[in-house]
Structures are given as C-alpha cells and as structure tokens.
Amino acid sequence: MPLLSLDHVTLRYTAGGTAAVDGLCLELAPGETLALVGPSGCGKTTTLRLVAGFERPETGTVTLEGRLLSGPDAFLPPDQRRVGMVFQDFALFPHLSVLDNVTFGLDALPRREQVARARAMLELFGLGGFEARMPHALSGGQQQRVALARALAPGPRVLLLDEPFSSLDAALRATTRSEVRRVLKSLETAVVLVTHDQQEAMAFADRLAVMRAGKVEQAGTPEAVYTTPRNAFVAWFLGGTNLVPGSAFGNGARTALGILPLQGEAKGPVLLSLRPESLRLVPDRDVVAVGGALRAEVLSREFQGPGVEFTAGCAGMELTVRGGPESPLRPGDRARLEVTGKAVVLEDPPPDARPPPEVPGVR
C-alpha cells in the first residue's frame, strides 16, 4: 500500500484558467525518494503545495497512510498533516539561533526533549557544536542542513524538498546532495523532491516522474525512464536525444542512417530516439564513407570537461554526438559517423510514414 497517494488531483489558480495540475495521479512508497522534473510551469511546485496543504484541489484526493488529507468534503491544514517541507531559500528565522530554529516546530514537547531532539538532528547532519550560531554566520550548505534538520525534527511521514540544492555552487551541491541522501535513507524518510536539474534528479531519486502541463508523462526508475523514454518530450528533457524516422521490421529499423538496432521489437513507420552517446564520430579523410559508416561534417564543438558534445551534419540531419574530451575533431572537419547503441521506438507518430530511400555506402 502506498504511503502517499494523489488520485486525479486538479487545481486551477483562476476560474476557467489553465490547470496548474490536471488530473494528476502519483504514489509514494514508504522510504522512497520521488523526484518531480519538468519545464517551468509544469506543476511541480504546485504538486508539493497540494501535498503540504498550502493549496486545496478542485477535484481529486490526497491521502497519507490511508488518511484523507484533501478531498471533496475534507481538508486538513498543514500543521495537522505530518508533512515537512524545505523551501528553496531555506526560510530560516534570522533572529533565532541554529538550535532555536530546529526546536521551533516542537512546541508540544517539554523543552528538555525539544533540545535533545534538535541536538540529535544537528549531529546527524554534522552540525554538532553549531547550536549557538545565527543563520547569517553559516555557509549556504550549513544553512541548508539546518533547514533539513528543522523539517525532520517533528518526525514527518513525508518530506517535501523544493529545489533544495539550487542556491549552492556546483562542487558543494554534489557533496551536500550525497550527504543529505545518506541521512534521509538512514532515517527511512519518504521524500518528494522538485528540481529543474535532470542530473540531480537521476542521482538523488529512486524514481522519477517527468511532468508536462500538469500531468505525468512518464514515471519509473531513473534508469528505465532514461533508457526507454515513452515519447520525444521525455527523451529530450532527460539528457537530449536525436529523433530519427524510420521503418521497423522486428528488432531493427531502416533509416537514413542505415539499419538501426532497436530496444524491443516494432513494425511499420516509427519515430526513434537515439541518444547522443549511442553515436561516435571518427576522423575521416576519405572522400566516401567506408566500413559501413556515414560521412559527416562537424558543425560545432562544445567542451564540457568529462566529454565533448558535437553537432554533426549527416544524411540531411543535424545530430548531437557525445564523445571523449580527447577527440581532435573541430568545426569544419570531416568525420565518419558510427552507431554504437540501440534506438528506442517512441509513441510519437513519425513525421513521414514512407520508408527512407536507400543510402549509398550504408549496409
């Protein structure tokens, strides 16, 4: 049984306006971390606000451990939901010490128990000895951990994280993210994370939900959603892709790039997703393609540290190709294009149902 359920939830901020969340269905298992990703305005933060009780849905229900939080005839206020939330700006009280920030939501406990629980949370996040400091005397990463300790101190059943790492620099973001994930897993806390960073979502979450226009386009493990996107939007949003029309026959498809191997089987006109890392560019000084590869021209090169992203013109298409940083290719160079991975058949209809013509030099 899921810990948290959103069942056909809809919310409009203005009467008759576009739905911010439109018939949304989501589930969260105990101890699971679910990341909501999607473009700006897709409904990610609105979903958090609905779970927290900051917004009331027009239709649908929100339940936690079988208890109705929001529905046609019920609405529990935020302080009765056992849901914690960490905001993007951390929202620490600037006039309170670290210890008093963390004990703020523990008014129901005797002061001694408040302090003991707050100290335990701060120790868990590596902030022992910081109790007397004021928020302005902390680094961004320390402030973020204080905000997490404050949200977790009351023992929420679900923790909501709204872009919690966005204000940190890149190096600190990675280390803090890893440490926070370790602590949350040790506490077996169920988490819903909203982030605009696809890499962060895939690294942090057990499961992803890719949203568009208030709906979930696809949900699953990061590996499953990335390797087998359902449609072109999901494929594009999670890491970018090349869209290639073709005609499928079993586990292969005939395309302008030749016969592409497929993940799974299909038949007839298809639109394929071919990830940039499934292609390789090799320097080529020959006039024609050789070895079953296509002739390509390097149009642009973007150095990204661990790798290089190329735009290559080939077979009438512009393709994105990822390679190693040691590649000598530069814009204007000729190259051979080789397919090293498998393509995925998307649900989107192909732009042209006719099979592509034979391509010289392709087998």
- The pLDDT tens digits for 102-128 are 999 898 899 999 999 999 999 999 899
Q: pLDDT higher for 171 or 363? A: 171
Of 46, 57, 103, 54, give the one whose Cα is nearest residue 83: 54
Q: For residue 342, is pLDDT > 60?
A: yes
- Provide the pLDDT confidence category of residue 39 given band limits of 50, 70 and 90: very high
- What local confidence, expressed as pLDDT, does residue 286 receive? 56
All CATH 3.40.50.300 domain ranges in the chain, comma separated:
4-232
CATH 3.40.50.1100 fits 240-345, yes or no: no
- Percent of the chain scoring above 70 in pLDDT: 94
- What local confidence, expressed as pLDDT, does residue 293 receive? 63
Model-level pTM? 0.88
Q: SS3 helix, strand, coil % of the chain, rounded to 5?
A: 25, 35, 40
Average pLDDT value over all residues in the chain: 91
- The CA radius of gyration of the chain, in Å to the nearest whole number, is 25
- Percent of the chain scoring above 90 in pLDDT: 78
Q: pLDDT higher for 172 or 282? A: 282
Q: For residue 47, is pLDDT > 80?
A: yes
CA distances from 157 to 4, 119, 341 (A): 9, 20, 42
- What local confidence, expressed as pLDDT, does residue 305 receive? 87
Q: Please give the average per-residue pLDDT across 302-324, as a whole number.
A: 94
Q: For residue 353, is pLDDT > 50?
A: no
All CATH 2.40.50.100 domain ranges in the chain, comma separated:
240-345
Q: For residue 294, is pLDDT > 50?
A: yes
- What local confidence, expressed as pLDDT, does residue 352 receive? 65
Return d(Cα 336, Cα 285) in angstroms, integer: 9
Q: For residue 130, is pLDDT > 60?
A: yes
Q: Please give the average per-residue pLDDT across 30-45, as a whole number.
A: 95
Ranking 60-64, 168-172, 343-347 by mean pLDDT, the lowest is: 168-172
- What local confidence, expressed as pLDDT, does residue 16 receive? 86
φ, ψ for residue 253, nearest 5 deg: -145, 135
What does the angle CA 129 – CA 130 – CA 134 come to, to the nearest 5 degrees?
155
Q: For residue 139, is pLDDT > 80?
A: yes
CATH 3.40.50.620 fits 4-232, yes or no: no
Q: For residue 263, is pLDDT > 90?
A: yes
